[in-house]
A and B are shown apart, each in its own frame.
Chain A
Amino acid sequence: MKQSQYTSEIDSPATTASNELGMRGFASLIKTLDSTNKTNVKVQALTDYFLVASDKDKVWTIAILSHRRPPRPVNTTLLREWASELANIPLWLFEESYHIVGDLAETIALIVPSSKTSTEKTLTQFLEEMIALKKKSEIDKKTYLFENWKVLDYYERFVFTKLITGGFRIGVSQKLMTRALAKATEIDEDILAYKLMGNWDPNKITFQELILEENESDYLSKPYPFYLAYAIENEPQDLGDVSHWSAEHKWDGIRSQVILRNDELFVWSRGEELVTDKYPEFNLFIQKIPNGTVIDGEILPYIDRQIGTFNDLQTRIGRKTVSKALLKKVPVILKAYDILEWEGKDIRNKPFTERRAVLEKLFKEINHTDLPFHLSETIHFNSWEEAAKERERSREMFSEGLMLKHKDSPYLVGRKKGDWWKWKVDPLTIDAVLTYAMRGHGRRSNLFTDYTFALWNENDEGEKELVTFAKAYSGLTDAEFRKVDAWIKKNTLERFGPVRSVTPHHVFEIAFEGIALSKRHKSGVATRFPRILRWRKDKSIHEANSLEDLKLMIP
């Protein structure tokens, strides 16, 4: 067969993983995962890969996709220097390109000279080399990188560099990976999730030990699928007689299931990820809550006997291990909503009020001030107007609004309409001035689409100045973005790398979900999910709000 005259680089067709093994197969898998937004396609690609890859490569793939990559063997400063050296460009040009591309490994893969070859090595070989590389001299590291950058094709180069720099953000959660692994191995997904939790070393464990070996205790952790509510569509009056409904505040934390079986504790998050290790305070439940109990609730930060904000909780999420200092600073509680299993029996089909009675009885029996176990109080209203009034109190209660649950409702599976509704409060909004703009990424990389907004504040000299309070990059149409972009390019005051300061002129209405005091922010205030609601062309900058106005919104 005649060889194609040119090596395919970026847009060569993704060969299916099943044809290729080793690093080539892994790179091809990552490419397929990265090339689609469709969950089904991702799961299929992963399943196909798990069916053909070697056991060792499979363990490494699982490790990488569950954020267990080996420590970084080369720091990023050196990577940048060496990549620009190989590409024969000045370092500043590399940095500028990186600002625009937005991903270090991708920038390196694009900038170094393209190669016409591909690798025969396995993924495991590469990772073992990287582990060994960490201890080597700088010159050895450089030689190793150059050798590989020169012989790997574009996508392999990207994946190789990504393995060195950090995690793959390719829209593959551990959950999705677990689902594919379940399909490939025909082992129950929840059991696999349990097997994959905790500390295991991909360099030491075998696929047999990690995945295939059966273990009775695996089944102990199994959660129930969460029941999720839809947002209320019209007026709550449409739900009929208010006396049929039980209301609770909708707490803004991490929806979780806490399982106690066989003197063991398991905590699952709504993403159906096992997060037991992240919340060690719940270990106190063992022996207090009887075995054969499953509770549905919300993990909330609880600081100085008060519910904290999601902002507080953020410091706990994403940490694999929790330091003592952090445990003290941001302790958490479980705010219990419901009980799904009691005395080892699945009671999800009992009416909501009956389940709540069981939960409340349990709560009374074990009630202990030191136990991080709280009840999400149910509220019964005489009228929908009364309910609306309670909803108005949500922000001061640190809740997002109300949950309405039909008193006779069973605990269903997944997102279902009818019995449970969420009735959230409207977002907060404020009018702010556009002060800085940054280029977007990808298609937007030639447009200024990432904006910083400011509010008025009186400084120590009594002068009014604009203080940054939030960044937002969504909410405008493409046509609006183009208009703002054109305006920014003509009204730039100063340039700082990719960022431009602009003449304060345009006012935008910014919506956000929550608000809290924050030391990390210049304004002293952190907002949750800020986004652009509309372009207030009708307002001059002097009509924009002040930081005072924003602070008044803090409950």
Chain B
Amino acid sequence: MKKPLLEFTDKGIYCNAAKVYLDPWKPVDKAIISHGHADHSRWGHKQYITHHRNVPIISHRLGEINVSGKEWGETFSINNVKFSLHPAGHIIGSSQIRVEHKGEVWVFTGDYKTENDGISTPYEPIKCNTFITECTFGLPAFKWTPQQEVFENINQWWAENKSEGKTSILFGYSLGKAQRLLKYLDTNIGKIYTHGAIENMTQVLRPLVDFPETTLITKEIKKEELLGNIVLAPPSAHGSTWIRKMVPYVTASASGWMTFRGARRRRAIDKGFVLSDHCDWQGLLSSIEATGAEKIICTHGYTEIFSRYLREQGYDARTEETQYGDEEDNATTDEIATLEKQAS
């Protein structure tokens, strides 16, 4: 039997014809990388191929690596297999990976969202035969509000906290969400302070996107200086001594998980904003339809439920186990611990 164009192996998604892996989770010779989050771009591959906007990100995260950057839509062949990268709209430099061989086209989404966030190149649906999709939020309970309105609410929340003389602490992943929040914070309200993990990543991305000014929180900065201003921090900093020193403060989290009332309460966060860098239910369904694909493979998220629904809708849909889905990995947590030690 003919091997499928892309297979799911214990090292990652593998193209046998080209001898190349897509977002592998174990060290390999040649890896095409969809985006810079830790679960998709791991350490230890001999060669990395990715979009050029992702090059500074993974170079910052992984250090000295052998990496080459590609343009959107630029076709490159490996053993007669044609590859190209297309915007996924998830974070800056995030791509879908298109693979074509002998007239057959597969697309691997990595992570993606359909809404244009204004900093990531907007998602484009790509025609294909087989579509490998994430479904992090593949439940009909997830419906995103347009970001313009979410940001109005976030800025209003900040202004209210300021009027009460409190520091606003807003949690978001250090790569992606933090910059998306930063981009739309209203600097007429106050100053934006950052946790080291976010500051470092933002510095890496400043050449690519115009962001408001940020101030890194160092031990020299007195908590009184923060009052009325906003602090951007990674979720893992919640509950740390670093945060506790900032009293009086109010916390909020911006994430798709904030859809659930329980999510915010369990984390003991004061306020939740529903803001995601993934597709909501309708976003997933409309993207799939737009690809024209007949075969759908669901990689991470509510895969079982989502693929069952797709099968009922007439798609040939199945799930594959991968190791994606944990954007804020232990490396970041370690980095945060180190930064906290330095700051205290």
Contacts and interface: CB of A to CB of B under 8 A. Distances in A.
Interface stretch (B13-21, B105-113, B140-148): B140-148
Contact of B268 (A34, A37, A100): A37
A107 B259 CA distance: 10
Interface stretch (B69-77, B118-126, B150-158, B216-224): B150-158
B264 A8 contact: no
Given A101-B141, A111-B140, A11 B301 contact: no
A443 interface: yes
A222 to B, nearest CB: 34
Contacts of B149: 4-6, 8, 12
B143 A9 contact: yes
Interface stretch (B50-58, B183-191, B271-279): B271-279
A35 B148 contact: no
Contacts of A101: 141, 260
* Best-surrounded residue of B136, B140, B157, B333 (most CB of chain A within 10 A): B140
Contacts of B301: 446
Given A5-B148, A36-B270, A100-B141, A442 B262 contact: yes
B140 A442 contact: no
A102 B302 CA distance: 15
Interface string A1-43: 0001110111111000000000000000000001111000000
A537 interface: no
A107 B321 CA distance: 27
Given A37-B268, A442-B257, A110 B141 contact: yes
B59 interface: no
Nearest to A171: B265
A35 B264 contact: yes
A10 B258 contact: yes
Contact of B262 (A9, A110, A441): A441
Nearest to B269: A37
Nearest to A444: B266
B165 interface: no
Residue in B140, B258, B261, B330 with the greatest tally of chain A CB atoms within 10 Å: B261
B152 A490 contact: no
A170 B302 CA distance: 27
B305 interface: yes
Nearest to A8: B149
A97 B273 CA distance: 20
B312 A100 contact: no
Contacts of B333: 479
B271 A35 contact: yes
A270 to B, nearest CB: 25
Nearest to A31: B261
Instruction: Give the interface size bracket for B toward A.
Output: 35 or more
B325 interface: yes
B153 A8 contact: yes
B62 interface: no
A489 interface: yes
B257 A443 contact: yes
A441 B152 CA distance: 28
Contacts of A110: 140-143, 259
Contact of A6 (B146, B160, B272, B274): B146
B7 interface: no
B224 to A, nearest CB: 22
A11 B150 contact: yes
A445 B265 CA distance: 13
B304 interface: yes
B139 A12 contact: no
A479 B260 CA distance: 22
B316 to A, nearest CB: 19
A111 to B, nearest CB: 5
B326 interface: yes
A93 interface: yes
B204 interface: no
A495 B304 CA distance: 10
A87 interface: yes
A443 B267 contact: yes
A442 B153 contact: no
B208 interface: no
A102 B262 contact: yes
B290 interface: no
B263 interface: yes
Contact of A445 (B146, B152, B260): B260
B261 A34 contact: yes
A8 to B, nearest CB: 6
A114 B260 CA distance: 16
Contacts of B257: 442-443, 445
Nearest to B262: A442
A64 to B, nearest CB: 17
B67 to A, nearest CB: 27
Contacts of B266: 441-444
Contacts of B160: 13
Given A442-B263, A442-B265, A13 B270 contact: no
A36 B145 CA distance: 22
A37 B123 CA distance: 38
Contacts of B273: 11
A110 B282 CA distance: 13
Interface string B310-343: 0010000000010101100010010000000000
A495 B305 CA distance: 12
Interface in A95-120: 96-97, 100-103, 106-107, 110-111, 114
Closest 8 pairs (CB-CB, A-B): A442-B262, A442-B263, A110-B141, A443-B263, A442-B260, A441-B262, A11-B273, A6-B149
Given A12-B153, A35-B272, A445-B260, 13 more contacts: A6-B145, A6-B146, A11-B153, A13-B157, A100-B139, A102-B262, A110-B142, A114-B143, A441-B263, A442-B263, A443-B266, A445-B263, A479-B330
24 contacts: A11-B153, A11-B274, A13-B156, A34-B261, A35-B272, A89-B309, A92-B308, A93-B309, A100-B302, A103-B262, A110-B140, A110-B141, A110-B143, A110-B259, A111-B141, A114-B143, A441-B262, A442-B262, A442-B267, A443-B266, A443-B267, A446-B325, A489-B321, A495-B304
